[in-house]
Chain A
């Protein structure tokens, strides 16, 4: 019961932050809304008994990705988009996102899987899976990160 209260609290934080990102006229407020939304998802991970993923979520999203976004906002001239305007066809975007919402909502009430009670995964089991069965994709992911790093440096380098 208390878990449900915390779930609704985290949902309110997540959806409120997401609406701030999508509707705010000020891009810095949008970045702060993104922090709130991503931290709320860490709460959802804790409610699903995945404390390691909650830690990773706060560390990578709250500590790295949002900071990088705020740095990128500082490197571009902020006065240019202090007040933001939406696309002139925004009602079309609203309609299509509402259609997607309706599809997902109707699919949520049709569950063709065997459900058990809410349980977590032991961290040693997760580590054993990640480093035995999924070791090669894990190494490829590290290569992807390295290539993204090199590509980012090459793209923003000053031309000689």
Chain B
């Protein structure tokens, strides 16, 4: 039997892997992919709670609605982040996060 704990452990593991990628990788594109992994970890947690919680069906549908919003915002965020990365590549010919320090005091 699948339990809610399975969903939560999978979500936590995926979130931790994504966090490691955001912190340890130096390429801006890979940081972006790791952020996508973290957002998807949140989606796994939401779908787990939405399908296991004891409540009315319209109440449980809120989890699905929230997942749709997360996917939408992730798409918008990715488009803008890729635009920024392409712009940085054109200006500094590098996507290494260590080279990008123009906003550092």
Name A residues whose Cβ lies closer than 8 Å to a Cβ of B. 1, 3-4, 7, 11, 14-15, 18-19, 21-22, 27, 30-31, 34, 37-38, 41, 44-45, 47-50, 52-53, 56-57, 60-61, 64-65, 68-69, 72-73, 75-77, 80-81, 84-87, 89-90, 92-94, 96-98, 100-101, 104-105, 107-109, 111, 113-122, 125-126, 128-130, 134, 137, 141, 144-145, 147-149, 151-152, 155-156
Contacts and interface: CB of A to CB of B under 8 A. Distances in A.
A37 B36 CA distance: 10
B34 A21 contact: yes
Given A31-B33, A126-B64, 13 more contacts: A65-B75, A75-B86, A76-B85, A81-B27, A86-B24, A87-B23, A92-B23, A93-B24, A121-B50, A121-B57, A122-B57, A129-B61, A148-B76
Nearest to A141: B72
Given A60-B71, A137-B69, A145-B72, A118 B52 contact: yes
Interface string B2-23: 1011111111111111111101
Given A15-B14, A27-B29, A90 B73 contact: no
A111 B89 CA distance: 46
B26 A22 contact: no
A126 B65 contact: yes
A20 to B, nearest CB: 10
A102 B82 CA distance: 32
A8 to B, nearest CB: 9
B24 A22 contact: yes
24 contacts: A3-B2, A4-B1, A4-B6, A18-B37, A22-B17, A37-B14, A38-B36, A47-B2, A48-B51, A61-B36, A69-B82, A75-B86, A89-B24, A90-B23, A108-B8, A114-B55, A116-B53, A118-B51, A125-B58, A145-B75, A147-B76, A148-B75, A148-B76, A155-B83
B51 A50 contact: yes
Interface in B19-63: 19-21, 23-27, 29-30, 32-34, 36-37, 40, 43-44, 47-55, 57-58, 60-63
A90 B76 CA distance: 29
Contacts of B58: 125, 128-129
B16 A104 contact: yes
